[in-house]
A and B are shown apart, each in its own frame.
Chain A
Amino acid sequence: MAYSDKVIDHYTNPRNVGTLDKSSHKVGTGLVGAPECGDVMRLQIQVDDNNVITDAKFKTFGCGSAIASSSLATEWLKGKSIDDAMKIDNMDIVEELALPPVKIHCSVLAEDAIKAAINDFRVKNGLAPIESEKVHH
Chain B
Amino acid sequence: MNLPIYLDNNATTPMDPRVLEAMLPYFTTKFGNAASRNHPFGWVAEEGVDYAREQVAKLIGANEKEIIFTSGATESDNLAIKGVFEMYKEKGNHIITTVTEHKAVLDACKHVEKLGGKVTYLPVKEDGILDLAVLEAAMTSETILVSVMYGNNEIGVIQPIKEISAIAHKYGALFMTDAVQAVGKIPVDVNKDGIDLLALSAHKIYGPKGVGALYVRRKGPRVKVTAQMDGGGHERGMRSGTLNVPGIVGLGKACELCGLEMESEAKRLSAMRDRLQTALTVLEESYVNGNVEHRLPHVANISFKYVEGEGLMMAMKDLAVSSGSACTSASLEPSYVLKSLGLSDDLAHSSIRFGLGRFTTDEEVDYAIEVTKKSVTHLRELSPLWEMFKEGIDLNSIEWAEH
What residues of chain A have their CB less than 8 Å away from a CB belonging to chain B? 3, 11, 14, 17, 19, 31-42, 59-64, 66-67, 102, 105, 108-109, 112
Contact = CB atoms under 8 A, between A and B. Distances in A.
Contacts of B346: 35-36, 38
Contacts of B325: 38, 63
A33 B383 contact: no
A105 B403 contact: yes
Contact of A35 (B349, B381, B382, B387): B349
Nearest to B395: A35
Nearest to A14: B382
B383 A59 contact: yes
B375 to A, nearest CB: 11
6 contacts: A34-B400, A35-B385, A38-B332, A38-B345, A60-B383, A109-B403
Nearest to A11: B314
Interface residues of chain A: helix, strand, loop or mixed (majority): mixed
A58 to B, nearest CB: 8
A114 B326 CA distance: 25
Given A38-B332, A64-B314, A66-B311, A59 B403 contact: no
Interface in B301-337: 306-311, 314-315, 325-327, 330, 332, 334
B308 A38 contact: yes
Interface residues of B, number: 31
Nearest to A42: B384
Contact of B401 (A11, A34, A63): A34
A63 B403 contact: no
Interface of B: 306-311, 314-315, 325-327, 330, 332, 334, 344-346, 349, 381-387, 395, 398, 400-403
Interface residues of chain B: helix, strand, loop or mixed (majority): helix
Pick the 7 closest A-B CB pairs, nearest first. Answer: A34-B400, A35-B346, A36-B345, A42-B384, A63-B310, A59-B384, A38-B349
A18 to B, nearest CB: 9
B334 A61 contact: no
B127 to A, nearest CB: 22
Most-contacted residue by chain B among A14, A61, A112 (CB, 10 A)? A61
Contacts of A33: 400-401, 403
Contacts of A36: 344-346, 349, 400, 402
Contacts of A102: 330
Contacts of B349: 35-36, 38
Contacts of B387: 19, 59
Contact of A37 (B310, B315, B386, B403): B403
Given A19-B387, A42-B384, A59-B387, A32 B327 contact: no
Contact of B382 (A31, A59, A105, A112): A59
B384 A37 contact: no
Contacts of B395: 35
Given A33-B401, A34-B402, A105-B403, A67 B311 contact: yes
Nearest to A62: B308
A82 to B, nearest CB: 22
Given A61-B306, A63-B308, A64-B310, A37 B402 contact: yes
Contacts of A39: 308, 403
A38 B310 CA distance: 9
A31 B309 CA distance: 20
B75 to A, nearest CB: 28
Contacts of B332: 37-38, 105
B403 A34 contact: yes
Most-contacted residue by chain B among A33, A40, A108 (CB, 10 A)? A40
Given A17-B382, A38-B309, 14 more contacts: A11-B311, A34-B401, A35-B346, A36-B349, A36-B402, A38-B310, A38-B326, A38-B334, A59-B384, A59-B387, A60-B382, A62-B327, A63-B308, A63-B311
Given A35-B385, A38-B325, A61 B307 contact: yes
B314 A40 contact: no
Nearest to A35: B346
A119 to B, nearest CB: 13
A59 B327 CA distance: 18
